[in-house]
Structure 1
Amino acid sequence: MSGRLHELVSEFGLVERSLGDPGALADPREYARLTRRHRELLPLATLMREREELERDLAGARELLGDPDMRELAQGEVLALEARLSELGAELEVLLLPSDPDDARDVILELRAGAGGAEAGLFVMDLLRMYERYAAGLHLKLSVLDAAESDLGGASKVVAEVTGDFAFRALKWERGVHRVQRVPATESQGRIHTSTATVAVLPEAEPGEVGLDLADVRIDVFRSQGAGGQGVNTTDSAVRAVYRAGTPDEITVVCQDGRSQIKNREKALQVLAARLAERERAGREARERQERAAQVGSGDRSEKIRTYNYPQNRVTDHRLEGDDKNHPLDSVIAGGLTPIVAALARAQREEQLLALAHEDARDGTGSRDGAA
């Protein structure tokens, strides 16, 4: 571990110097990359500086152990410093785990009705309200950019933007198929139905990250309607951005969030850039046969990350085990997703620590000392 720590500290110093380079400032894409990497490495560099200071203090305290007049005081200081160094070693170990470079980004959130007809559309709106409450509790802002609403109060699709500190980290665990089991309002026999909705969480692309040529984009303007459009339905403010229309690469984005055609155009291009960035990532990782398929699957009932069981007032996250698996439905639907998110993050961290231990054992490094 010590070797990797020093490599990362050296990288932090290099990044700090590069941020002051006029060449980096002139390249928006490179500057965004350096800024993001600086933010990722800063906690580790800060802890490493603290460790160096503690080690100097510990060496001084141990020298005082030989002084009869100072021995008792020095012993207490040695114990305290050793305890903090042990804690710090554990903190550094966690920081060494692979981090998600997208955690600090804003998010494009896409909800789509899956199996279940009208009930699936109603479930989409239930999920949207859940995410609105969850976001508000984290001081994040959720804005609906487009929604295809049904007459019954549901929606076949909702596209929203979530902005604020570490929005992607808060929502990335929601990617996948969500299943609901309940008696629909239209069910006269009282039978429980199963429906699904798919959730895609796309980190917004940073300026200069995606090479979006506006010559490849067709912009259409039309009259707003439906969700987000009631207040603007007297003006042609809605915007449709179509990327490479008529080709296999075609992507269509609609934004009718506000009264301003200019702002809707900007938002539509932001969503388009996020989708292009997601497509590039998916291609590099070879995880998808089509755009966002790895995130949301087909919407089939058998593909699920979470089940919302209304008769039993229980939400089950199928990626978790033991006591972390089940949660009260009324709390979760009210926006109380934090316990589930924390459990998923903890499970991932434990898997990463185990993989790191196996890697060290394979490399013959053996066990680590607490201070690394």
Structure 2
Amino acid sequence: MLDRLNIVKQRFDEVSDLIIQPDIIADQKRYIQLNKEYKDLKEIVDKREEYILLTGNIEEANEIIEDGSDDEMVEMAKMQMEEAKQKLPQLEEEIKYMLIPKDPEDAKNAVIEIRAGTGGDEASIFAGDLHRMYTKYCQSKGWSVNVVDFNEGTSGGFKEVIFEVNGEDVYGTMKFEAGVHRVQRVPQTETQGRVHTSAATVMVLPEAEEFDVELNMSDVRIERTTSTGPGGQSVNTTYSAIKLHHEPTGIIVSCQDEKSQHKNLEKATKVLRSRLYERELQKKMEADSAKRKSMVSSGDRSAKIRTYNYPQGRVTDHRIGLTLYDLSKIMDGDIQKFIDELQLVENTEKLKESDVF
């Protein structure tokens, strides 16, 4: 293990020198990449120091015990060795997972799209519930959430809502939420008390930086319209809403959240760039899937990933078979337990496939 850690330390020293070079600082793309690498390597280098200290304590204690000339020192050495040996397995396990190669997309911000599926008005209400759940979760992490575009349902919620989340390692956390979410409950409009099943689809895209994907604005037709509210009525008379048509792919992106046309154009362009980037990643993921079938992040948007059962107060994640009987807290944004378990499964899969050890 120390050999691998020494290689990391060598790379850390190289990156430490590179990020202070004027030509690197002048190259924004390279500088951002190296800064991120520096931060990731620093965490492993700190663990390396812990590992060296702990194994050094064991060696030192062993020498004292073998010498045996001082009974009191031998007793202290035995205690020191016992304590170090208890800590070592946990530390080695942490280091193993840290040495798994990271997906460079995980550090990015994310664009999240929620669309009501089967179930009519109830599906729109559920899409609104999911948006509220994610907003509360993201805010609890200290991330910022900004709505890009929305289409309200006739009885509340959203037929569609698109929002961007900015923060640290957002995509690597939220990517597990992509897929079909199913809800089982009695709708407010149901007079017979029957449980209905509705669904909403969640898409999570890594937010593309300008240098991630080439977007030629000459390929984009920009349509300027007035913003609309529920039922299609105009909510203002200025042409602030933006609709982008990407001619080569047929992708259409709308944004009417801001009063400023310029800000709406900026947000819509960001989403368009992310969708184009996601298409490239999807091709790569499909190619990779021939080599690897991941249980938790296959990228299949049609996969039913989670069921929210209101009568029983439970939420079940079908990918890992985890059921939690804490529905109200979960809908209030407490989804960390699911994300932790999904990340653990993914890391375990990666560990089996990698040549870390």
Interval of TM-score (by shorter of Structure 1 and Structure 2): 0.7 to 0.9
2:166 aligned with 1:163: yes
Counterpart pick for 1:225 among 224, 228, 253: 228
**Cα 1:326–1:53, aligned 2, differ >3 Å: closer, same or farther?**
closer
Letter in 2 for 1:332: I
338, 344, 347: which is aligned to 1:346? Answer: 344
Cα deviation code 1:74-95 (max 9, x no counterpart): 4433444444444322221121
Mapping of residues 219-368 of structure 1, within 5 Å: 219-226=222-229, 233-243=236-246, 245=247, 247=248, 249-286=249-286, 295=299, 297-298=301-302, 303-321=303-321, 324-355=322-353
1:347 Cα deviation after fit: 2.8
* Partner AA of 1:159 in structure 2: I
Structure 1 distance, partners of 2:174, 2:233, is: 28
More displaced 10-residue stretch of structure 1: 210-219 or 128-137: 210-219
Gaps of 5+ in 1: 366-372
Aligned-pair Cα RMSD in Å:
3.0
Q: Is the 8 A contact 2:229 2:235 kept in 1?
A: no
Contact in 1 for aligned 2:121/2:154 (Cα 8 Å):
no
1:119-166 Cα deviation digits (max 9, x unpaired): 222211111111122222222222211001132213221101112233
Partner of 1:368: none
* TM-score (norm: length of structure 2): 0.85
* Partner Cα separation in structure 2 for residue 172 and residue 273 of structure 1: 18
**8 Å contact from structure 1 (residues 111, 200) kept in 2:** yes
Structure 1 stretches of 4+ moved >6 Å: 229-232
Q: Does 1:87 align with 2:85?
A: no
The within-5 A match list for 1:71-220 is 71-220=74-223
* Matched pairs, number: 345
Contact persistence 1:173–1:344 (CA under 8 A): yes
**Does the C-alpha gap of structure 1 residues 294 and 117 become closer, same or farther in structure 2, counting only changes over 3 Å?**
farther
Residue pair 2:127, 2:159 contacting (<8 A) in 1 also: yes
Change (3 A) 1:355 1:221: same
Q: Is the 2:178–2:301 contact (alpha carbons within 8 Å) kept by the matching residues of 1?
A: no
SS at match of 1:42: helix
Structure-2 separation of matches of 1:296 and 1:190:
34
Whole-angstrom CA distance in 2 between matches of 1:214 and 1:25: 28
1:56, distance to aligned residue in structure 2 (A)? 4.5
1:305 is paired with a residue of what secondary structure?
A: strand
Report the 3-state secondary structure (helix = DSSP H, G, I; strand = E; otherwise coil) of the residue aligned with 2:223. strand
- Deviation of 1:57 after TM superposition, in Å, equals 5.0
> 1:18 maps to what in 2?
18
Percent identity between matched residues is: 39
Give the 3-state SS of the residue equivalent to 2:304 in structure 1: coil
Encode CA deviations 1:221-252: one digit per residue, 9 max, x unaligned: 2222238x999724322222222x2x3x1222
Would the aligned equivalents of 1:176 and 1:297 in 2 still touch at CA under 8 Å? Answer: yes
Shift of 1:41: 2.2
Alpha-carbon contact 1:232-1:259 (below 8 Å) kept: no
Q: Which residue of 1 aligns with 2:42?
A: 42
Give the superposition deviation at 1:3.
4.6
Task: Give CA deviations for 1:14-69 in whole Å, capped at 9, x if unaligned.
Answer: 33333234443343333333223223222112211333344445544544443526
Q: Is the 8 A contact 2:220 2:245 kept in 1?
A: yes
1:102 aligned counterpart, secondary structure: helix
Structure 1 residues 84 and 207: CA distance shift in structure 2, 3 A: farther
Q: How far apart, CA to CA, are the structure 1 residues paired with 2:192 and 2:81?
A: 72
Specify whether residues 317 and 85 from structure 1 end up closer, same or farther in structure 2 by C-alpha distance, changes over 3 A only.
Answer: closer
Does the 8 Å CA contact 1:200/1:296 hold for their aligned counterparts?
no
Q: SS of the counterpart of 1:307?
A: strand
Deviation at 1:278, TM superposition (A): 1.0
| Stretch of structure 1 that moved more, 41-50 or 5-14 | 5-14
Paired letter, 2:122: E
For 2:300 and 2:268, locate their aligned partners in 1 and report how far apart those are by CA, in whole Å.
22
Distance across 2 between alignment mates of 1:134 and 1:349:
22
Q: Closer, same or farther in 2 for the Cα pair 1:287/1:326, shift >3 Å?
A: farther
The CA distance in 1 between the partners of 2:130 and 2:85, in whole Å, is: 48
User: Aligned partners of 2:316 and 2:80: how far apart in 1?
Assistant: 48
Q: Structure 2 vs 1, CA of residues 315 and 17 (structure 1 numbering), >3 Å: closer, same or farther?
A: same
